[in-house]
A and B are shown apart, each in its own frame.
Chain A
């Protein structure tokens, strides 16, 4: 029992010594290597990205453009419409016509389209804007003009 303990202790000492020595060697080697590596690594920001990418991490990236899904577009359109003070949120559905169902007039419809332009940050020309009379049409138009995916 005592011998076992002594053996274990000596083994531990030996292992510690060996680790320290190998650590020294390793650190010596790594100093040399790290100097070489640091001289190669002039662009540290990019070497972070040179890891192999997993397939599910790959994203579409457009320069500065937003990528939406259809549900996001729908949600944002409906929220913007509910915030409009002349619209009764109870009556608002995707297919409610602004003029016939919700009792707004053409000036209000212009304001609504302007609010959509502000929200999604792109211009809607006058000819297209005057035929967008229900939320469903607006959602469809935005999905056509912006890149949306399912």
Chain B
């Protein structure tokens, strides 16, 4: 199946997910539905000009991971990651090359579309 079809199918899948979404905290259902739709729109548009097929496949994996985690943990928000040990915090001090590399390696795939913290 062509990559384009997969991506559009994913987009549709996320919107269908938001339609039937039930939040764990029932007062947040509408807010989380809106969040799912907005995040999908923003992130898909951010990445829409990527041409390398392998990159696109990585992003497809990222979307699938986000969908599965949302369904499993009953929350659409991605789980934040801690900085690995022996690495200084990025915002307070300038990072060395090795530290930047360590942080980059520790970030899981579902954070791929978000801003690079080490920059």
Interface residues of A (CB under 8 A from B): 105-107, 110-111, 113-114, 118, 126, 129-130
In the complex, which residues of chain B have a beta carbon less than 8 angstroms from the beta carbon of A129? 12
Q: Hey, which chain A residues are within 8 Å of B8, CB to CB? A: 106-107, 110, 126, 130
B interface residues, Cβ below 8 angstroms from A? 4-5, 8-9, 11-12, 15-16, 19, 41, 44-45, 48
Name the A residues within 8 Å of B12 (CB-CB). 110, 113-114, 126, 129
Q: A111-B15, A118-B19 are in contact. Are A126 and B9 (CB under 8 A)?
A: yes
Compute the total of residue contacts between A and B using a CB distance below 8 Å. Answer: 27
Q: Could you list 16 A-B pairs, sorted by A, with CB under 8 Å? A: A105-B48, A107-B8, A107-B41, A107-B45, A107-B48, A110-B8, A110-B11, A110-B15, A111-B15, A113-B12, A114-B12, A114-B15, A114-B16, A126-B9, A129-B12, A130-B5
**Chain B residues positioned under 8 Å from A130 (CB to CB):** 5, 8
- Interface class of chain B by DSSP: helix
Interface of A is mostly: helix
Interface centre among B4, B15, B16, by most chain A C-beta atoms within 10 angstroms, is B15
CB neighbours (8 Å) of A111 from chain B are 15, 41
Task: Kindly state the separation between the CA atoms of A96 and B51 in the bound complex, as whole angstroms.
Answer: 29
Given contacts A106-B4, A110-B11, A118-B19, 18 further A-B contacts (CB under 8 A): A106-B8, A107-B8, A107-B11, A107-B41, A107-B45, A107-B48, A110-B8, A110-B12, A110-B15, A111-B15, A111-B41, A113-B12, A114-B12, A126-B5, A126-B8, A126-B9, A126-B12, A130-B5
